[in-house]
Structure 1
Amino acid sequence: MWRAIASNALTFFIVVLVVISGLLAWGRAEYSGPGPLVDAACVKVDRGASLSSVSRVLETSGVISDARVFRIGADYSGAGAGLKFGSYLVPAGASMVDVLGIITEGGQSTCGREVNFRIGVNSADVILRELDAATGRYLEVVKFDPAVDVAPQTYLDAVADADLRYRVTLAEGVTSWQVVDVLRRADFMDGEIAAVPAEGSLAPDSYEVTRGGDRAALIGAMEERQVRVLAEEWAERAPDLPYASPEEALIMASIVEKETGIAEERRQVASVFVNRLRKGMRLQTDPTVIYGVTNGEGVLGRGLRQSELRRETPYNTYVIPALPPTPIANPGRLSIEAALNPDDTPFIFFVADGTGGHAFAVTLEDHNANVVKWRAIEAQQGQNAVTGVQGN
């Protein structure tokens, strides 16, 4: 009898072990295998949310197959206590391991709504946009100019969300004065900017910031990035350039930045100015003269007057036979790269060609012919400014 009882007990124990082993194998497969999510989705983790509540939300929304398995796996790995509030993009088929990593190691949110405060040459825009999880692209919700427009109610409602993300995007060619002037109107940032940074010292780029972030700290980050960009590009510069220092290259880059907005032209434009420096010729470029008139404080908004083209200032390259003393804007990496690795061309002239680009020339005769063509286009457009290097 006892032998039969022992045999049954052993059989039962073996069955239990098999069941437990099966459950463990199933749990491991569920935890590390592909998840049920068919399309990418945004997952929101509320501030202060528990692992248990997050697990239930993930299961209900179809991101994971089983909340208990997710919770057990998170507890076992020790990562369950590291939840970070925010909205996160979870790709299709993400395993529980992947999902746990996204919501505990993701740092900044990667999904949901975002305010992009864009500082441009002519204006600043506040853009509220939302990530479309299916396409991975941001869709514009509302856009306005904080200098002239009243903030729309949609924007005001959005900024009440603690999960809303913020970034500041600095366009190429903006002056340091413009950056400071616009940042002082950024209502989601705090702190004072003591002084306008040196011209050219801010790197055009997109910077993620936090609500209540310090304006001066953001300026510092822009300066640090520009120092790094200039150092990297200077180390890769072409030989025998007519620059005595990286600072002179930065001045040239700012001129290139203001002369063309076409990326493919930057190296050609740089080659014209480098050729002129090598020949001892004046640069004769309007953007430097304009900077001498405005000091970088806003946009001129009109054509240059003949008196301004003749007036001797440190920035009037129709008069001075050298680079101006400072940059005339904050150039981006592509313009810095162009200034330090210009195309090898014989060109010493260029003028607008009516397409947004420029016509380049080696001889004054060819250049004057290009100017005549541009003047005809200009007359049709009702403009009165020549863009490019002149032949006088």
Structure 2
Amino acid sequence: MPESTRSLRFSSFILLVILVGSTLFSIWFYRLATTPVKLPVMPYEFSIEPGDSLRNIAQQLTDANILPNAWSFILLAHMTGYNASLKAGEYALTQNLSPLDLLEYLAQGRTKQHAITFLEGWTFSQFRKALDEHPAIRHESDKLSDAKLLKLIGANEPDTEGIFFPDTYFFTKNSSDLTILKRAYHAMQRHLEIEWLARQKSLPLKNSYEGLILASIIEKETGRDSERTRIAGVFINRLRHSMKLQTDPTVIYGMGDKFDGNLRKIDLQTDHAYNTYTRSGLPPTPIAMPGLASIRAAFNPAATDELYFVARGDGTSHFSSTLEEHNRAVMKYQKKRQ
């Protein structure tokens, strides 16, 4: 057999071996890349620190038995182009993933979400306490004055009270408290803008901020959705008639730490900016964070001639159009509570 023929056959054999080997390797590698690996625990939490190399990430996941080996994950990352796209952050895997799925997961930065909830009716002091005590938040505003804080979040209001929307906010670990404050502030601004545009046109309110003040009073006066618009109607009617609002929650707010749980006659007679028994009109700022239902009630109150209401003691209120009727209701329900 001529030397050239043997050389050609040998080359063909080598090529066939390479082709078969490459095909087998491709099949094996594909199965390795697409076969889900069972998590040791579920959810499985881990962190990628800023600056971690692909090798460090692969080794961390291999040591935790998330990956069968580090080198295949590194090779797969380079083959798919994800090698420079993995995002730092805190992750929580809640299902078994293949190495390929895991690469996509990390490249998309689907980091673990933390949450903080601000409740309707909370004061800014309560809001601030929840923010300061959350362990996953980076605290950058806790030492700031209210004036500096208002400037940094882009607020034009005179005070921090009531201007943040009560809701649950999700964020990644080490998010700045300023970021959450801005989100809550702008959420409130969006709701106010929408509801102000849809308001009744003859309201004795100069702007949406006055509506926010009224909404905060409604929030503290009742937790019943069915009563919000009627209570709003009472306050709107009193404003139209230049009557003092005479609402206990504003007095209590103005007393601050002096309030011991009992509101006395002397408290109602002691003048201060939030005493709506001694001063006409709305107080200077909101007294709490109102929810959307209270905001809507303030901007679209019930059309009634009612000027008074008193708590029945069961979570509902008795509404009256005349002082005589109101006094009878006060005697009836206050006597019942005594």
Q: Of the candidates 352, 374, 379, which is equivalent to residue 311 of structure 2? A: 352
Contact in 2 for aligned 1:45/1:86 (Cα 8 Å): yes
Letter in 1 for 2:145: A
Q: Measure the CA separation in 1 of the matches of 2:24 and 2:328.
A: 85
What are the within-5 Å matches in structure 2 for residues 262-301 of structure 1? 262=224, 265-278=227-240, 281-292=243-254, 294=255, 297-298=256-257, 300-301=259-260
Work out whether 1:99 is the aligned partner of 2:58.
no
| Matching residue of 2:208 | 246
| Matching residue of 2:221 | 259
Q: Measure the CA separation in 2 of the matches of 1:358 and 1:311.
A: 28
Give me the identity figure in percent: 33
Q: Measure the CA separation in 1 of the matches of 2:274 and 2:335.
A: 29
Work out whether 1:340 is the aligned partner of 2:288.
no
Contact in 1 for aligned 2:120/2:289 (Cα 8 Å): yes
| Matching residue of 1:307 | 266
Q: Of the candidates 18, 25, 36, which is equivalent to residue 16 of structure 1? A: 18
Q: Measure the CA separation in 1 of the matches of 2:27 and 2:258.
A: 68
| Matching residue of 2:46 | 44
Q: Measure the CA separation in 2 of the matches of 1:193 and 1:231.
A: 28
Work out whether 1:173 is the aligned partner of 2:121.
yes
Residues 1:50 and 1:313: Cα distance change in structure 2 (over 3 Å): closer
Q: Measure the CA separation in 1 of the matches of 2:329 and 2:16.
A: 93
Q: Measure the CA separation in 2 of the matches of 1:190 and 1:26.
A: 51
* Deviation of 1:105 (Å): 3.9
* Deviation of 1:251 (Å): 0.8
| Matching residue of 1:110 | 112
* Deviation of 1:9 (Å): 4.3
Q: How many residues align?
A: 319
* Deviation of 1:26 (Å): 4.8
* Deviation of 1:8 (Å): 6.1
Q: Of the candidates 50, 58, 63, which is equivalent to residue 61 of structure 2? A: 58
Q: Measure the CA separation in 2 of the matches of 1:270 and 1:326.
A: 17
Work out whether 1:327 is the aligned partner of 2:306.
no
| Per-residue deviation, residues 219-266 of structure 1 (Å, max 9, x unmatched) | 666544543443344344455444221111111111122223455654
Q: Measure the CA separation in 2 of the matches of 1:216 and 1:16.
A: 59
Q: Measure the CA separation in 1 of the matches of 2:98 and 2:218.
A: 49
Residues 1:180 and 1:4: Cα distance change in structure 2 (over 3 Å): closer
Q: Measure the CA separation in 1 of the matches of 2:25 and 2:200.
A: 65
Q: Of the candidates 230, 236, 239, which is equivalent to residue 192 of structure 2? A: 230
Q: Measure the CA separation in 2 of the matches of 1:369 and 1:23.
A: 91
- Gaps spanning 5+ residues in structure 2: where? 151-158
Residues 1:376 and 1:236: Cα distance change in structure 2 (over 3 Å): same
Contact in 1 for aligned 2:89/2:173 (Cα 8 Å): no
Specify the SS of the correspondent of 1:110.
Answer: coil
Specify the SS of the correspondent of 1:88.
Answer: strand
Stretch deviating more after TM superposition (88-97 or 259-268): 259-268
Contact in 2 for aligned 1:193/1:216 (Cα 8 Å): no
| Matching residue of 1:128 | none
Work out whether 1:77 is the aligned partner of 2:90.
no
| Matching residue of 1:189 | 139
| Per-residue deviation, residues 321-344 of structure 1 (Å, max 9, x unmatched) | 532333223334443343234456
**Which structure carries more relative contact order (alpha carbon 8 Å, separation 6+)?**
2
RMSD over aligned Cα atoms: 4.3
Q: Measure the CA separation in 2 of the matches of 1:74 and 1:264.
A: 58
Q: Measure the CA separation in 2 of the matches of 1:175 and 1:361.
A: 27
Residues 1:14 and 1:277: Cα distance change in structure 2 (over 3 Å): farther
- Gaps spanning 5+ residues in structure 1: where? 115-166, 380-392
- Compute the TM-score of the two structures, normalised by the length of structure 1: 0.62
Contact in 1 for aligned 2:306/2:319 (Cα 8 Å): yes
Q: Measure the CA separation in 1 of the matches of 2:197 and 2:166.
A: 20
Residues 1:245 and 1:42: Cα distance change in structure 2 (over 3 Å): same
Contact in 2 for aligned 1:233/1:337 (Cα 8 Å): yes
Residues 1:6 and 1:182: Cα distance change in structure 2 (over 3 Å): closer
Larger proportion of helix = 2
| Per-residue deviation, residues 21-45 of structure 1 (Å, max 9, x unmatched) | 3533553454356554497422313
Residues 1:200 and 1:65: Cα distance change in structure 2 (over 3 Å): same
* Deviation of 1:288 (Å): 1.8
Contact in 2 for aligned 1:36/1:64 (Cα 8 Å): no
